[in-house]
Structure 1
Amino acid sequence: MSHPLKAAILIISTSVAQGVSKDSSEDILRSVFEGEEEAGRWTVSDVKVVSDDILEIQRQIREWTDHEASGINLIVTTGGTGFATADQTPEAISPLIHKHAPGLVHAMLATSLSVTPFAMMSRPVAGVRNKSVIITIPGSPKGAKENLQAVIKTVPHACIQVAGADSRSLHAGGVKRLEKDAGIISLGHSSHDNSTAHHRGHKHEAHAHEHAHGHGHGHGHGHGHGSLVRHTKQGENPMSNDPSLGPTRRHRASPYPMLDVEEALALVSKHTPAPTVITSKVDNELVGAVLAEDVTASENVPAFRASIVDGYAVVVPKDGNMRGVFPVTAVSHAAAGEVGELKEGEVARITTGAPLPPGATSVIMVEDTVLKTMTEDGREEKEIEILADGVREGENIREVGSDTKDGSIILQKGEQVSSVGGEIGLLAAVGTATVKTYKRPVVGVLSTGDEIVNHDRPGHLRLGEVRDTNRPTLITAARGWGYEVIDLGIASDKPGTLEETLRNGMRQADLLITTGGVSMGELDLLKPTIERALGGTIHFGRVNMKPGKPTTFATVPVKNNDGERVSKVIFSLPGNPASALVTFHLFVLPSLQAMSGVSPVGLTKIPVSLLHEFKLDPGRPEYHRALVSVGSDGSLWATSTGGQRSSRVGSLKGANALLCMPKGVEPLQKGTKVEALLMSNVRLVL
């Protein structure tokens, strides 16, 4: 092709057209058209959004196909191919098609059916109108990607023919040339074609050789892939194992690039959903919540002029001289009744917080007075002597609004309500009953693996069984940071069981944490289930760190109760206990905090000095579990919790910090300054 073919995308969704929800298919389809394998073949020249309306759909299709100047070679519609009442795409497209293309329909359905039987519920249509090829694909990002990838390599041939190319010259060289031009390796040809067989065998040997060296085994033999058909270059399509292919065809090396921790954290930040605003009651459940808007006082505090001491309300004369004996004419308590206006030369007994009597201009502390006489019944003061001179108006008085003025901002957006009580007290003082806050995400915690048993199961372990330490540990950690947690139990290493457990978890929780099943074994099914069954996107699957290298972060598109498409977050953490807890604090916690509106996110980082020599890992940066304490002089020191093996959960016993240790051959000496991430309070060493 001398020029790229032009593609147009038509998003068919009433909710997207009305701006109620956001489309997520366009980016997926663009990634297929603009991927490395298709680079130079396609350009996406137009994208339009229409409602689930037959006339709107047909109007846009005609605009693209009935005007030769548009030059659109391929039209891909996404959405409206199911059985829902509003799904009318096939009914809109079919009458417009001049030549139907059942082969394209069959290819799309066959691809989707290999993933799930429910693909038979899709009603795709494909064909030609004038000089444009039209295919209809599902609205889900996963289904859309699968269907487009199923035909993307062969559709250019149809587009070129439809545009008027000479068929004789186009087919010169036979099917094998067409497949080669399309980048397809087919194993359906006769085995006597030695050149093709030799090329294919050499490719697999090279592929196996690369795997062997990648693992550092040093073996000379290759790992044959039998009849596996690869449509992309090595490393171009980083997707997890396909469990249906069997254990012999699982990856020998991870298809996911190794990211630095900073790169992984950036992806967590980018793909964590924005916080949701809710209305919350002002009570003890508000602790830990982040305010989503400024809070304004709706009344003055105090609402009246009040005494700040126990003593006597007085009317100060111009000269400020209050020495002398004065009659006590009234008593003003905190729960005051009616008190008459005070005149100069009279005093009224008053308690702390009580309103001043009308006319009073100052308060004399009881310590500045002497009792002179009592009433006849001996219960009240009759006269007191004041010993104060130079008294000024306004002394010992809390004026109206002096603490908080009506209309002033008392708490700002982004402030977090602490357990100290100050924020709750301030809100209560001005009578605030509800505030806007960011919803704190609900966390679901799941362990995976047939070998995992509940930690409290009685009896001895059978060979191969492991007690579940990760689930109770992670539940405790998440709750300790103030999040509601749902215990999702243990899922077995069966694709269907795992998929259903994950779907159930996403119905209940905003963020899922799973442990185990993220390495390279044939039973490690989390990544395949997230990608292939749930239609999720794995943003990273390996991190250059110790412990926690196979940590996985993914998002899955789902519909909420309002029918809007949203993302649910899944963190698949390693199965080793220490790895799980370290990666929870390093990756999961910042995501939870971002969804809660907390800023900045992540553990507090402080500089500390090493109390003894620390060995380094030569290959990866390490997050060393340690105890940070403060000396009597205020200096911070870190000591190791002992053996750091990733399976040793005891390495986190007593730990309050993760030391950020670089990779290296030589150990770090005592006194070296390193950065520490604080997981809990620092202790004082006397």
Structure 2
Amino acid sequence: MGGLQLQQVSTPREINTASLDPTSDRAGPILTATFEELEASTIWASPVIKIVPDNVIDIQREICQWTDSEEFFNLILTTGGTGFAINDFTPEAVSPLLDRHASGLVHGMLAASLNVTPFAMMSRPVAGTRKKSVIATLPGSPKGAKENLEAIIKLLPHACIQAAGANSRSIHAGGVKKLEADAGVSPAHGSKTPKDDSQHHHHHHHAHAHVIPKPHTSPEERKSNDPKAGPTRRQRSSPYPMLSVDEALKVINERTPDPIAVGVPVTMAVVGSVVAEDVYAEEAVPAYRASIVDGYAVIAPESPSAATSLKGIFPVASVSHAQAFSMPPPLEHGTISRITTGAPLPPNANAVVMVEDTSLACSTPDGNEEATVEILTGDIRPGENIREPGSDVPLGSRILSTGDIISAVGGEIGLLASTGTKTVKIFEKPCVGVLSTGDELVEHDDPRTLIGGQIRDSNRPSLLSCLTSWGFPTVDLGIARDTPAGALEQALRGALRGVATRSVGVIITTGGVSMGELDLLKPTIERSLGGTIHFGRVSMKPGKPTTFATVPFKPAESSSNTSTQQERQDRLIFSLPGNPASALVTLHLFVLPALHKLMGLGYTSGEISPRHPPPSSGLPLVSAILTHGVPRDPKRTEYHRAIVTASRSNGQLYATSTGLGGPGVGAGQRSSRVGSLAKANALLVLPPGSEKRESGQLVEALMMGAVGASM
């Protein structure tokens, strides 16, 4: 094949090795420089070093990830671990992975090093191909690695192109001489001869490092389909790199703005919010000495004796009810005052005798009141059966801390109310708008019969219901049509500007994120709104085309927002798949953590912007026992809809799938099957693998709802 244009082929990417301490990585930078010296930078993407522990399993796991995925590496180079040292395992790790061995590459590397030192015989390199990738192992010493790479570097593009699936006949059509000329090598040797250096040392690093995938294009080049270009110009594969769920969550956390603190009156509207500033009691609880029983307020002696004992008959001088509007008159020695639970003690009284320790001596002449009461015990001490002022909540004490949730259970709102707290600072909850996209959608309550390819919009009611149950204010943004052009852009701009006087901080859309010619969401965000797509694909099942973007937004100058609110410029857009199950699963997995951060969940005093998602954000994670076997996807982590119940007999949690498919049913958990979520209260996290999870095994479950009970 004459005039190899390597830039137009699937651009090879190299992987270098380093030590556990990146600062001590000497081979990596030298290999990078070697590619640049030989003008290979026009062929190879820039290397990025990644560390891998020095054991067979970890090395094999990393290499398989790079060779067996859709976005495979063309070239994988390792350095270190090829000698006779006790921890030199690299050849043993790589060799079993190779589909075909390349003894010629091994011979070329050894021959180059033997020209420098006989110690090259102590190296045990292996090379070959796995799937569509070329793999070669280099020595750990920087100089040895450079010599071995120089021996083969000019031939590697040719090897990588063939391994990736190019037509071998057309490549060799010009003959070997043509190939040599194109590669820049002579028949005598396959590389420039390394300079003689008798001071060659083999230095083995106790770890392995490899380059992670690097995009081939700039963000401008990677923009999604141009809707004006027509179907013949649309992309045939996604321009977005595939992220893991953990990577996607990290991106979401980094791009989600910090919460905004606002002062609000203490009403039921604050329930479900997170406290943004420590709250201190403005009033003591109780504000006065109060009785904790029904009985009689008395003046108890400090040290009872027969002479001062309260045992005996006393006149009832007054009555103190809990509903009294004023304090009772002071109590005089030799008298008692009837008192109810919670009522204030009369001045001078210092204890309460419970009514069970008394008996009626005599009534008033009309028979309606107690005149005298007999106290049956002489053991009453000062302070008995009373609450001191501030004994429940001292004046000025901290009653709520930053990060506390004012829960719907009622304890926190009761505390605020009892202390007379008028206002409280909370983190403002984001308002969430939900938009459906697509010409095929019909309102769910449209009385007309469906025609053609129409479907009822179930996603919007489903998502709005879920968001409302989480306590977030929502706005129904309706359905945005694919046609006429610009309808989607107008719907998004309208949502950002504010709907029904409420500014929407988070927009959730469903549909329009796959690869169809009418999937306009990504190009509209990028080309029309000036937004940034932070990821467009996630390695998960269901939910692969989940998209997360931010759009810069500046509130209008005339807005009544505070200056603090003006600072929040980015608005979040989550574009979820159109399939009902996918939309609900990704809402729980990706949108909820962002909403939790926006509402301040997980924050504490002095930690307003943590680097990582707070542990309390997102869905709670539990472990449950499978009641049956569940197959796994070989490549993607699956979030399997299930019902988790707690056994009343042994206290264990058990997980049962809401559908595994079967004859006449199809794929029970396919993303379009909304029924699989109808009763589900959990998502089972099933990592990729070839073997199914068996009945009785423990699995991780993300709880979407309350745990049910079983026998």
The residue identity in structure 1 corresponding to 2:638 is E
Aligned to 1:637: 654
Choose which of 296, 313, 338 in structure 2 pairs with 1:325: 313
Aligned to 1:432: 421
Aligned to 1:165: none
**CA shift for structure 1 position 339:** 3.0
Other structure's SS at 2:496 match? helix
The 1:254–1:538 alpha-carbon spacing in structure 2 relative to 1, beyond 3 Å, is same
2:439 equivalent to 1:450:
yes
Alpha-carbon displacement from aligned partner over 1:405-450 (angstroms, at most 9, x marks no partner): 1111100011010111111111011111111111100000000000
The residue identity in structure 2 corresponding to 1:327 is P
2:372 equivalent to 1:383:
yes
Aligned to 2:224: 240
2:396 equivalent to 1:407:
yes
Matches within 5 A, 1:262-411: 262-320=246-304, 321-336=309-324, 337=326, 339-411=328-400
**CA shift for structure 1 position 296:** 0.6
**CA shift for structure 1 position 564:** 5.3
The 1:212–1:436 alpha-carbon spacing in structure 2 relative to 1, beyond 3 Å, is farther
Other structure's SS at 1:528 match? helix
2:491 equivalent to 1:501:
yes
Instruction: Say if 1:261 and 1:543, in contact at 8 Å, map to a contact too.
Output: yes
Counterpart CA distance in 1 for 2:618 and 2:294 is 48
Instruction: Say if 1:514 and 1:571, in contact at 8 Å, map to a contact too.
Output: yes
The residue identity in structure 2 corresponding to 1:507 is R
Instruction: Say if 1:578 and 1:647, in contact at 8 Å, map to a contact too.
Output: yes
Counterpart CA distance in 2 for 1:594 and 1:671 is 36
Counterpart CA distance in 2 for 1:340 and 1:353 is 17
Unaligned 5+ runs, structure 1: 1-35, 41-205, 214-231
Counterpart CA distance in 1 for 2:328 and 2:687 is 74
Aligned to 1:257: 241
2:580 equivalent to 1:577:
yes
Aligned to 1:93: none
**CA shift for structure 1 position 473:** 0.3
Alpha-carbon displacement from aligned partner over 1:147-190 (angstroms, at most 9, x marks no partner): xxxxxxxxxxxxxxxxxxxxxxxxxxxxxxxxxxxxxxxxxxxx
Percentage of pairs with the same residue: 57
2:706 equivalent to 1:684:
no
Choose which of 453, 466, 471 in structure 1 pairs with 2:455: 466
The 1:308–1:662 alpha-carbon spacing in structure 2 relative to 1, beyond 3 Å, is same
2:544 equivalent to 1:549:
yes
Other structure's SS at 1:245 match? coil
Aligned to 1:421: 410
Alpha-carbon displacement from aligned partner over 1:476-520 (angstroms, at most 9, x marks no partner): 011010011100100111341100001111122110000000000
The residue identity in structure 1 corresponding to 2:267 is D
Matches within 5 A, 1:469-548: 469-494=458-483, 495-508=485-498, 509-548=504-543
Counterpart CA distance in 1 for 2:375 and 2:568 is 75
Choose which of 651, 672, 681 in structure 1 pairs with 2:676: 651
Other structure's SS at 1:555 match? strand
Instruction: Say if 1:444 and 1:512, in contact at 8 Å, map to a contact too.
Output: yes
The residue identity in structure 1 corresponding to 2:490 is E
The residue identity in structure 2 corresponding to 1:339 is P
Alpha-carbon displacement from aligned partner over 1:348-403 (angstroms, at most 9, x marks no partner): 00011111011001001011111111111111111111112321110111101111
Other structure's SS at 2:252 match? helix
The residue identity in structure 2 corresponding to 1:630 is A
The 1:685–1:212 alpha-carbon spacing in structure 2 relative to 1, beyond 3 Å, is farther
Other structure's SS at 1:334 match? coil
**CA shift for structure 1 position 615:** 1.2
The 1:388–1:211 alpha-carbon spacing in structure 2 relative to 1, beyond 3 Å, is farther
Matches within 5 A, 1:170-181: none
Matches within 5 A, 1:15-164: none
Counterpart CA distance in 2 for 1:507 and 1:394 is 63
The residue identity in structure 2 corresponding to 1:331 is V
Length-normalised TM-score, structure 1: 0.66
The 1:565–1:359 alpha-carbon spacing in structure 2 relative to 1, beyond 3 Å, is closer
Counterpart CA distance in 2 for 1:372 and 1:211 is 108
Unaligned 5+ runs, structure 2: 1-40, 46-159, 168-214, 499-503, 558-565, 603-615, 660-667
Other structure's SS at 1:627 match? strand
The residue identity in structure 1 corresponding to 2:524 is T
Other structure's SS at 2:545 match? coil
**CA shift for structure 1 position 661:** 0.6
Kindly tell me the number of residue pairs found equivalent between the two proteins.
466
Instruction: Say if 1:302 and 1:399, in contact at 8 Å, map to a contact too.
Output: yes
The residue identity in structure 2 corresponding to 1:644 is Q
Q: CA RMSD in A?
A: 2.3
Aligned to 1:611: 627
Aligned to 2:184: none
**CA shift for structure 1 position 345:** 2.3
The residue identity in structure 2 corresponding to 1:615 is P
**CA shift for structure 1 position 258:** 0.4
**CA shift for structure 1 position 247:** 1.1
Counterpart CA distance in 2 for 1:595 and 1:238 is 30
**CA shift for structure 1 position 211:** 12
Counterpart CA distance in 1 for 2:545 and 2:382 is 72
Other structure's SS at 1:445 match? strand
Other structure's SS at 1:289 match? coil
The 1:212–1:480 alpha-carbon spacing in structure 2 relative to 1, beyond 3 Å, is farther
Length-normalised TM-score, structure 2: 0.63
The 1:402–1:447 alpha-carbon spacing in structure 2 relative to 1, beyond 3 Å, is same
The 1:449–1:483 alpha-carbon spacing in structure 2 relative to 1, beyond 3 Å, is same
Instruction: Say if 1:211 and 1:253, in contact at 8 Å, map to a contact too.
Output: no
The 1:533–1:604 alpha-carbon spacing in structure 2 relative to 1, beyond 3 Å, is same
Other structure's SS at 2:569 match? strand
**CA shift for structure 1 position 459:** 2.6
The 1:294–1:233 alpha-carbon spacing in structure 2 relative to 1, beyond 3 Å, is closer
Other structure's SS at 2:243 match? coil
Alpha-carbon displacement from aligned partner over 1:598-651 (angstroms, at most 9, x marks no partner): 122100001111011111112211000000000011100000001111001110
Aligned to 1:130: none
The residue identity in structure 2 corresponding to 1:290 is V
The 1:210–1:564 alpha-carbon spacing in structure 2 relative to 1, beyond 3 Å, is farther
Other structure's SS at 1:559 match? coil
**CA shift for structure 1 position 235:** 7.3
Aligned to 1:225: none
Instruction: Say if 1:325 and 1:384, in contact at 8 Å, map to a contact too.
Output: yes
Instruction: Say if 1:319 and 1:390, in contact at 8 Å, map to a contact too.
Output: no
Counterpart CA distance in 2 for 1:462 and 1:212 is 47
Instruction: Say if 2:327 and 2:344, in contact at 8 Å, map to a contact too.
Output: no
Counterpart CA distance in 2 for 1:413 and 1:566 is 24
The 1:672–1:531 alpha-carbon spacing in structure 2 relative to 1, beyond 3 Å, is same
The range that moved more, 520-529 or 657-666, is: 657-666
Aligned to 2:595: 592
**CA shift for structure 1 position 565:** 6.5
Counterpart CA distance in 1 for 2:516 and 2:542 is 18
